[in-house]
Amino acid sequence: MYYDIQPESMLPKRRSESHKGTYGRVLLIAGSHGMAGAAYLAGLSAYRSGCGLVEIFTHEDNRVILQELLPEAVMTTYQNETADSLSDKLNHSLGKADAIAIGCGIGLDETASLLLSQTCRYISVSEIPCVIDADAISLLSRRADLMACLAGRKAVVTPHPKEMATLIHTSIDEVQEDREQTVERFVHAAQISCLLKGYRTLVGSPDHELYMNLSGNDGMATGGSGDVLTGLIAGLAAQGEDICEAAVLGAYVHGAAGDYAAGQMGRHSLLARDVIAGICEIIKELEKKTNEKV
């Protein structure tokens, strides 16, 4: 069963008397050596969602690039750290976050594994919402202990079909054969939310009906599009959205932004950064509808 949404009613509220702390702090654990682009796209998207502050936890090699591309972000970097030093640095950042996103371009090495392990264990004893994407999903598929840490917590995994197949140890064909059943089985077994990307993205959780997103187009099948979605969901969650509802609204806005951008650029030429520009237009439209109802 799928449920309809009124996206304007889901948009986080803004208040006249407010400051950046009012709208939440996103911790984005993203970008290994040479992967600054993933961190940039996710970070900018999180800001465009309306969150107050974005901290990017990334490799030192990405610092200068990210500070030039996204000067609004707080930067915390690591390089040649001991395990204890890296753990202490990450704990400090985790303790300040209102929402976490991990996975965009972090790689699959020992450092990435440590970052994911510590993040999952932190989530297991906190109420902080977390988006788990990309490389973090591949790492998670190898760690039943970390999956157990996430059960019942405010987490959402956001795999594409290949990542979903890896996560549940099956084939891509079996995932695609019955996408709805795949999501429903996973969320009830894992007890966390899941957003399965692809044509007609699906969002499910143990406590919500299955949602099918109808916005979006084939022009969005381009590098970086998933990073944009991850940042968008994390930014909405930092503003107080339920993690599943943040995923639902994020999927809608992401797709609608892609549709807007395709209208401007054409589907063949669409880039992930164009989708971010479209986010501004879609949220502006939702704000207008919200104000009309007041």
Could you tell me the pLDDT band of residue 150, with boundaries at 50, 70 and 90?
A: very high
Please check the confidence at residue 227 and state whether its pLDDT lies above 70.
yes
Any idea where the domains of the chain sit in the sequence? Answer: 19-293
Q: Cα separations (Å) of 261 from 187, 264, 281? A: 32, 5, 9
Question: pLDDT-based confidence at 223, cuts 50/70/90?
Answer: very high
Exposed e or buried b per residue across 250-286, where buried means at least 16 C-beta atoms within 10 angstroms of its C-beta: bbbbbbbbbbbbbeebebeebbbbbbbbbbeebbeeb
pLDDT at 263: 97
Mean pLDDT of 23-28: 98
pLDDT: which is higher, 79 or 1: 79
CB-based contacts of 281-287 (< 8 A; 24+ apart in sequence)? 281/257, 282/253, 282/256, 282/257, 283/11, 283/48, 283/49, 283/50, 283/253, 286/7, 286/8, 286/11, 286/253, 287/8, 287/11
What are the beta bridge partners of residue 210?
A: 2
CB 183 within 8 A of CB 204: yes
| pLDDT range class, residue 4, cuts 50, 70, 90 | confident
Closest C-alpha among 131, 81, 130 to residue 109: 81
State mean pLDDT over 113-141: 97
What's the pLDDT score for residue 195?
98
Q: At residue 293, does pLDDT exceed 90?
A: no
* Residue 185 pLDDT level (bands cut at 50, 70, 90): very high
- Model confidence at 2: pLDDT above 70: no
pLDDT score at 141:
97
Span 68-83, pLDDT tens digits: 999 999 999 999 999 9
Average pLDDT of span 14-28? 96
**Architecture of domain 19-293 in CATH?**
3-Layer(aba) Sandwich (3.40)
Adjacent-strand bridge partners of 102:
29, 132
pLDDT in the model for residue 294: 52
**Is the confidence at residue 1, as pLDDT, over 60?**
no
Do residues 158 and 131 lie in contact, with contact meaning Cβ atoms separated by under 8 Å?
Answer: yes
Helix (H, G, I), strand (E, B) or coil at 250: helix
